[in-house]
Structure 1
Amino acid sequence: MSVAAADWLPAATVTASGRAVLSAGEIERHLLPLVDLEPEENPRLAPLHGCLLALTSHRLVFLHEASLSARALPLASIAHAYPPHRRHNHNPLRSLFSSSSSSSSSHHPRIRIQISLPPSRSEVVAVVVTCKADVDVFYGRLLEAIRARAWEATASAAPASGAPVAEGAAPAEEDLAIRMPVVGVAGILRKEQETWESAGQNLQDAFQDLNALMSKAKEMMELAEKMRQKLLTNSSAQSNSNDEEMGSKQDMQDLLLSVGIVSPVTKETAGALYHQQLSRQLADFVRVPVERAGGMMALVDVYCLFNRARGTAQ
């Protein structure tokens, strides 16, 4: 069954190399090849067969690599995901008259998912894993993504309401400590204690700043990617701009190129598909710098740019 026939699922955008286009804040969590999506109760729902399943922090994306098309199941619509199981108690007489694909799928691990579809109906579908993969690992990461509810995450955290009170009380205690003279052993010990307390406070503030920076890093990378795509689009429309504008635009593109890839392919998420998905991500990434370089780049330069964007030396 083609992906286009499963119109009960929203369509997903796919890159030229066959990878799902991630939305803002979306991270790829796991990949599974040769996955089917079958209805458990409603035969009017068109099934999907032989798809590459990409689990992200927001969706289950079913990619049909031959047609470069995809359908997505939002994690927000999943009411419950049941543990993997196999149909050991299927009727053997019934399997004689059923199709070979349906009878063979009964022996593969199935993850039953209860979903909510518009306007207000509940359906049960099954993710059938027909490849040799650790289904329990995928199921665990699916539960983690559902519980994390990353699609509901706020862009920034509000400051604590009690912070001004604590800041107002600190100077009085500091002034009191400064007015006390440093005399004798007790004064030296008190001075050393103040030094340690000050160092501890500075370290705590540094970690708070680091956490805030890490929470904003993903948003900055997404903003940089949008700006880079916009600059690339405008470069073709404004080919008659002067040298100064082109130079500043190139400097901006160099800066944005060094920001990095939002969701790099890793062995942990891709598994056996690591080299395939890594090459596809490289094909998507290298298109922009190659076009900027006039259609040709040295392999060493591509290697350096890609690894710098991934944040790795491998």
Structure 2
Amino acid sequence: MVKIKSFRKSRLDAQISHTSFGMQNERHNEIMRIISLRKRLSVADLTERLGVSEVTIRKDLSLLEDMGYLVRTRGGATLAEDWENHRVLGVRRGEHVAAKDAIAAEALGLIQEGDTVYLDAGSTCTAFARRLAGMSLRIVTNSIDVVLELGEAPDIALHTLGGSYRKEAGSFIGPTALESLANYQFDAAFVGTTGFSRTGEFSAQNLIEAQLKKAVIGRARRSIVLVDHSKFGTGAFAVFARVEDIDLIVMDDFPGRAEVLSLGCEVIFAPAQPEQQKGEERPAGPPSA
């Protein structure tokens, strides 16, 4: 077996060694650094590397799984998230704002008063939630931002899934969220995505989050993906659906629309907002992969 220490001087090691995982516990930071290099590790490997007991390592892995950073396996753990391409939530909230608002405005016509609706975590779904405050709906969500948007809306019956809180996405995930989801059926589920590949795959940055998205789609009469044009032609860590698994895509209009339509899916292209019409956000062409 190749020793972990042989990877210390690799280019990837140098890159990830500068990644901040935002934890005060240095051992947790080191576990995440190592597993980001190797993608999966055993308890025995970590015990030898870090010089602590197996009991301590198992407790560490259990906590990190609750936080959504990794997934426990028999005798070890595997990475739950692509930390090489990690982007913080605060940055994502400020990107393509006009496009997301256009998508939210167009999606409003897909629901009616009295519906039971699932709203996913993410900045596009949050923009959509903002437009629902005046309606009479039953909303189920795993998003803290959606709760903040709709918590005081007079005619919204708001339900949250609970679970482990994932700070990087402002979402609740994990086994508790999945168990809670089993209590609901949705007239419509609005799901966000990190990636939308040119072969029609929707993907999330986090494996545990992807599992929840997949389960949500399975409990909805209609599943709708809300995605801005910048996501097209990209992929993320964990695939949760393909175009044939969902009913509808709502996307802001852009020059690459023909390629999206060639996938054979039903798509609503939202008209450009004033900012886009002025050229502030409209791309010169389809985004590269």
Q: Answer 1 or 2: which has greater helix percent.
A: 1
After TM superposition, the score normalised by the length of structure 1 is 0.19
When Rg is computed on C-alpha atoms for both structures, the one with the higher figure is 1
Choose between structure 1 and 2 for higher RCO, CA contacts under 8 A separated by at least 6 residues: 1
